[in-house]
Amino acid sequence: MIQKFNHESFIKELQNSSQDLSPFYIICGNEFFLIQETVDSLKSISRKKGYSGYKKFLIDQKNSNWVEIFSSIQSISLFDKRRIIELNIPTGKPGKYGSENLIRIAEKIKKGLGSDICIVLIISKIDNSIKNSQWLKELFKVGIVINIPTIDSVKLPIWIKNRLYQQGQFADSNLLNWIADKVEGNLLAAHHEILKLELLCPKGKLNNADAQEAIFDVSHHNVFDLRESILLGKVHRTIRILNQLREEDQPLPMIIWIIGEGILDLCSLINRKDKFSISSIKELKIFKKPSKYCCISIIKKIRSKYLVKSNSAFT
């Protein structure tokens, strides 16, 4: 049975466990900062458990030193009795030869690596083709999976609230939403801004004026965020994203094309019989990363406009 954790529950599990590390962990997700935070926690806890060695390998479709990787897994070190081997696949695509070797690693783990080696596989990008790949299915059977969530604009205020709570501070919803606007799209910078509040503001409830004076605008957006914001009817966010794209000299034709594509997709959705279904919105790829919140918001807008239009035809 596959053991699955999110990054926070995984770190707590490691901290509270007196047992040795598992022989194999799979860390997957799109948030680089949270991936790195999870890996750093694993390193810190592993040192306390006697793992002194650490080797890191980058795996891609062209250049991967599999001879050295297997040598590190199989060999006995004179200096580092217990060690961690990190295998990082930033693209999520190891190539044909890499896929075969990852299946070989899964077979070795089934037979037993011993308690002196822990392999950590990091996959930064996972799409449907990767999820359905044989090599990942085989690895999932033998590893503990840590899913790193994507912190979108809807989840960000809650994430900020939890981070503030960890350092003994809390804020009202207005301040949480304000901070989220200033740090959206840049989770590492968001982390630094939250740590700054710990240094500059006392514990307990944050004073809105003091917190707003301490926080810098470190948000980062792209043209897909602009399209999403327009389709969801978020006027202030749309203006803010437009100003940022203009400061970054984003080409105007690209912005117009992305917005136009979104409008055409929306028209296609309205003309479908199943226009009120979340699956239709995801199928048409109206949003780059469709969250349930985005889908429900669009459905509500279409339903209200559609019903108003239908009722007006009978008056």
Instruction: Name the one residue in this structure whose structure tokens are 């799209």.
Output: 185
pTM for the structure as a whole: 0.73
Identity of the amino acid at 26: I
- Annotate 160-183 with three-state secondary structure: HHHHHHHCCEECCHHHHHHHHHHH
Task: Kindly state whether residues 111 and 75 are assigned to the same domain.
Answer: yes
SS3 content of the chain, % helix, strand, coil (to 5): 55, 10, 30
136 and 63 in a single domain? The answer is: yes
Same-domain pairing of 197 and 86: no
Do 169 and 197 fall within a single domain? Answer: yes
Element (H, E) at 299: helix 292-312
State residue 199 phi and psi, 5-degree precision.
-80, -35
In CATH, what number is assigned to the domain containing residue 194?
1.10.8.60
| pLDDT, one tens digit for every residue, the chain (315 residues) | 457 788 888 888 888 888 888 889 999 988 989 999 999 999 998 888 888 888 999 888 776 788 888 888 876 655 557 889 999 998 888 888 889 999 999 998 888 876 788 999 999 877 777 878 899 889 988 889 998 988 988 899 999 999 999 999 999 999 999 999 889 888 999 999 999 999 999 999 999 999 999 998 888 777 777 877 777 777 888 888 888 888 788 888 888 888 887 777 777 776 666 655 666 666 656 565 555 555 556 556 655 655 444 444 434
Cα–Cα distance, 229 to 239 (Å, whole number): 9
161 residue type, one letter: K
**What's residue 291's pLDDT?**
53
Same domain, 8 and 135: yes
| Number of structural domains the chain divides into | 3
User: What's the pLDDT at 60?
Assistant: 82
The last residue of a domain, from among 165, 191, 214: 214
Range of the domain at 264: 223-312
- Residues 8-14: contacts with CB under 8 Å, at least 24 apart: 10/38, 10/144, 10/146, 11/38, 11/41, 14/41, 14/42, 14/45
Same domain, 287 and 185: no
Residue located via tokens 């979340």: 278
pLDDT of residue 303: 59
> Quick one: pLDDT at residue 304?
60
pLDDT at 16: 83
Same domain, 174 and 125: no
